[in-house]
Amino acid sequence: MENWLTKRARLTPNRIAVQYKNKQLTFQEVADQAHNMAKKIAKVTQDNSRVALIMNNTLTGYLVIMALQQLGKTIVFINWRLSVAEINYQLADAGVTTVLTDDDYMSELSIDKQIKFSDLSTQQKITPIETFPEDFVTSIMYTSGTTSKAKGVMQTYQNHFYSAMGSALNLGLTSDDSWLAVVPIFHISGFSIIMRGLIYGMRVVLQSKFDAHQINELLIEQSITAISVVPVMLKQLVADLPKGAHYNNHFRSMLLGGGPTDLVTLKQAQLHQIPVIQSYGMTETASQIVALDAKDAVQKVGSVGKPLFPVRLKIADHAGKVSQQGNIWIQSPTLTTGYLNQPDKLAEHMIDGWFNTEDYGYLDAEGYLFVQGREGDMINSGGENIFPNEVEDIYAEYPGLNKIVVVGVSDQKWGSVPIAIVLGEELKKDALIQFGRERIAHYKIPKRFYLAQSWHTTASGKTQRKPFLAELERLKELI
């Protein structure tokens, strides 16, 4: 494919490409400024095929991404929230010698060259690459590593192109579209917006920090048509909106990833006429591969929808044999070509071209996908399967309960039983149990509740279950 930025600047040179705070750049201006940035980066990266990048959602960071693609470099995205030790591991694993960082990143890393954006000055003549080869790995992102060492997921231009196509066919596309990017660009949810912007020719509005009130003001006052959020963002946004408030007349979709939301939040969103599109995807699939139409959000609450047009999906056991309930398997042109330095790792999850996501779920009679959780998190209690996500989602509606994580512990009678670690105000065991009895099967209700001393998450905000189990003996049990 022809260089996306070069082609887009020729097709729609005067259309707004990106907005950050009060500054806007057209696609031609982005192409020009990315070219200048590329000349500076070329001087310090020289023959390096991969360059690591630590950044927030800023205009300079956006231009650095564009510049690295003009140079034909593979971008190794690093989450700045990680510890120095975690980042050093990823830099070493990726074999990079140069990392470019935001000016406000202060930690010192174990690498040959650690260069702030503002220190890029000396220029070198460059010629932007003419084509973006479909099989070229343009980005590497490390998975959260909730159960093991983080793996570098390799994403090609083909992955990103078909991801954009699937999204366009699902959500529709207009010449006036603009997408608010407040989810981190170093994650696939944010970077995919940047790639869609080039392919669609749409404006991307960058926001470096999530503030519900500020985001609501933008969505009300500006002609933004879409935003990507996770459940906690959606809850805060609808809670902040005054009664009767609506987003701008052009707003068309709030794409929800990172898990389903509860019925109460969906109904609140409906009151404000916010079309919530629940979705399912992962780093390995270059963003969402399954999505639920907004009109089905209440009727199919808990579902993430149906596979997007380029995607095939089935529920099967570990051997790939179709079953009513089991692992979620997919075929998709957006699927990664593999894990960096682990050539056999992807094949371990593949059978006859199908990829086992290791998520567990089922399809209802109408073909809607319900994700029950990671197979490794499943609790088998007396022959019954319990998925912590389901229990946690139910208790998310409990008044005064701020956070909950459900894990399985050994039990002499049942083999394993669910228990919960919680954070909140004035929580009582009996009231929590009664709340569960009114909503879920009795065997799914946590047998004991413990008060958390701290909350264990990955750098991307996903709750880690194992650390809670390790400290269980030190936690206070609710009575």
CATH number at residue 330: 3.40.50.12780
Sheet holding 152-156, edge to edge: 113-116, 98-101, 50-54, 74-78, 137-142, 152-156, 338-339
Whose CA is closest to 285, among 308, 302, 315, 304?
308
Q: Are residues 328 and 384 in the same domain?
A: no
The rounded distance, in Å, linking the Cα atoms of 371 and 461 is 19
Q: Are residues 411 and 359 in the same domain?
A: no
Q: Are residues 384 and 339 in the same domain?
A: no
For the whole model, what pTM was predicted? 0.87
Per-residue pLDDT of the chain (479 residues; tens, 9 = 90+): 999 999 999 999 999 999 999 999 999 999 999 999 999 999 999 889 999 999 999 999 999 999 999 999 999 999 998 889 889 999 999 999 999 999 999 999 999 999 999 999 989 999 999 999 999 999 999 986 544 578 999 999 999 999 999 999 999 998 899 999 999 999 999 999 999 999 999 999 999 999 999 999 999 999 999 999 988 899 999 999 999 999 999 999 999 998 778 788 899 999 999 999 999 999 999 999 999 988 898 889 889 999 999 999 999 998 999 999 999 999 999 999 999 999 999 999 999 999 999 999 999 999 999 998 887 788 888 877 788 988 998 898 899 999 999 999 988 888 889 999 999 988 999 999 999 999 888 889 999 999 999 998 876 677 888 889 889 989 999 98
The rounded distance, in Å, linking the Cα atoms of 314 and 374 is 16
Q: Are residues 113 and 227 in the same domain?
A: yes
End residue of a domain, out of 317, 352, 372:
372
Inter-residue contact 419 to 432 (CB < 8 Å): no
Q: Are residues 214 and 77 in the same domain?
A: yes
Q: Are residues 402 and 472 in the same domain?
A: yes
**Helix, strand, coil distribution of the chain in percent, nearest 5:** 30, 30, 40
Joined tokens for residue 118: 């503002």
Give how many domains the chain has, as a whole number.
Answer: 2
Q: Are residues 310 and 407 in the same domain?
A: no
For 131, how many CA atoms within 13 A lie in the half-sphere containing its CB?
Answer: 6
The rounded distance, in Å, linking the Cα atoms of 261 and 358 is 21
Q: Are residues 224 and 347 in the same domain?
A: yes
**Beta strand pairing call for 203-206 and 16-20:** parallel
End residue of a domain, out of 327, 353, 372:
372
Classify the C-alpha dihedral 204-150-416-400 as positive or negative.
Answer: negative
Q: Are residues 122 and 235 in the same domain?
A: yes
End residue of a domain, out of 323, 351, 372:
372
Inter-residue contact 371 to 357 (CB < 8 Å): no
The length of the chain, given as a count of residues: 479
pLDDT of residue 43: 92
pLDDT of residue 463: 84
Which phi and psi angles does 22 have, rounded to 5°? -100, 10
Inter-residue contact 346 to 352 (CB < 8 Å): no
Q: Are residues 46 and 127 in the same domain?
A: yes
Domain interval for residue 255: 4-372
Q: Are residues 349 and 413 in the same domain?
A: no
CATH number at residue 459: 3.30.300.30
pLDDT of residue 175: 82
Q: Are residues 302 and 419 in the same domain?
A: no
